[in-house]
Amino acid sequence: MSGPQGLWYEPPPPPSRPPEVPPEERRDPIALTIDGRAVTVPQGTTLLEACRSVGASVPTLCYIETLHPANACRLCVVEVEGARTLAPACSRKVEAGMKVATDSPRVRTSRKVVLELLGSSTDLSLAKGLHPEIERYGARPERFGVAPPEKPVKVDNDLYVRDYAKCVLCYRCVQACGTDAQNTFAIGVAGRGHEATISTEHDVPLPESACVYCGNCIAVCPTGALIPRTEHELRKKGAWDEARQTKTTTVCPYCGVGCPLELHVQDERIVKVTSPLDDSTTHGNLCVKGRFGFEFVQLRRSKS
């Protein structure tokens, strides 16, 4: 229906068919060599992906598939012929004609020193992924003659514990709390140099911060600096034993999203809940209910 001009608004007719899907970005093949082997990968591939595609083993620490590369640890460096500095494989994109060495003496020395610096300033006892690398590169953090500084464990809520003596400042938790997953921005890096640490705003306790207890930071922490309170209590008693734990996959009962859950069970009690990183719904992320809302199961068991 039309009316006097300027008084009635007549919307344009709806499109006769849905808008076209934008064309897929063209990814030309890129040829390079990795450890002397010729490789061809699509444009935009990272050096890490290219190295892994030919079975070259490149260690990583701050990198995880579900987050943007933070480029924080430099453990993944590789040598590119003609380049002045070593390149972080997790974020550097392939370029035509690159000649990449993943295990040259320079690369090995760099990774060894990175591991030694981390080990001399941080408690790596729960960083299980790093133990084989420390052995592989013959890293000896003790040669610096200093012990990692002691920091009190932050236990200020019922759900998870922060032990920053174990933190390697990989930024994963900050990214998971920010735009890469949760968009809550409850934590960030505070301080500079040796004083740098992960912190809530003004270092307030978690219950006074913006944290919503999704626990997505715990899910990505590679060093055990962030762990569920249940795990912390069992470790304190010397009772945490992964060899005795089973993992059962199920579906979260709380809402219609239906996130897949992995229940870690020890001695017939749920001790931790995770979600698979490679799941297309969660990418390892959960909300507070899915990750921590399991105590009612144990209560019902103890009453019956």
Site residues, ligand SF4 (CB under 6 A): 167-173, 198, 220-221, 223, 225-226, 252, 254-255, 257-259, 286-287, 289-290
Q: Report the DSSP pairing between strands 260-266 and 246-251.
A: antiparallel
Closest to ligand FES by CB, 65 vs 95, is 65
Contacted entry of ligand FES, ligand SF4, none for residue 46, CB cut-off 5 to 8 Å set by kind? none
Q: Where are the beta strands (DSSP E) in 89-165?
A: 99-101, 160-162
**CB of residue 206 to ligand SF4, shortest distance in Å:** 13
**CB of residue 123 to ligand FES, shortest distance in Å:** 19
- Among residues 170, 207, 163, the alpha carbon closest in space to that of 189 is found at 170
Closest to ligand FES by CB, 60 vs 200, is 60
CA–CA distance, 108 with 102 (Å, rounded to integer)? 9
Closest to ligand FES by CB, 76 vs 167, is 76
**CB of residue 289 to ligand SF4, shortest distance in Å:** 4
Neighbours of 189 (CB within 10 A): 13
CA–CA distance, 17 with 81 (Å, rounded to integer)? 52
Q: Report the DSSP pairing between strands 197-200 and 260-266.
A: unpaired
The answer to whether the CB of 277 falls within 8 A of the CB of 66 is: yes
**CB of residue 41 to ligand SF4, shortest distance in Å:** 29
Closest to ligand FES by CB, 60 vs 120, is 60
Structure tokens at 169: 């400042």
Closest to ligand FES by CB, 89 vs 286, is 89
Contacted entry of ligand SF4, ligand FES, none for residue 169, CB cut-off 5 to 8 Å set by kind? ligand SF4
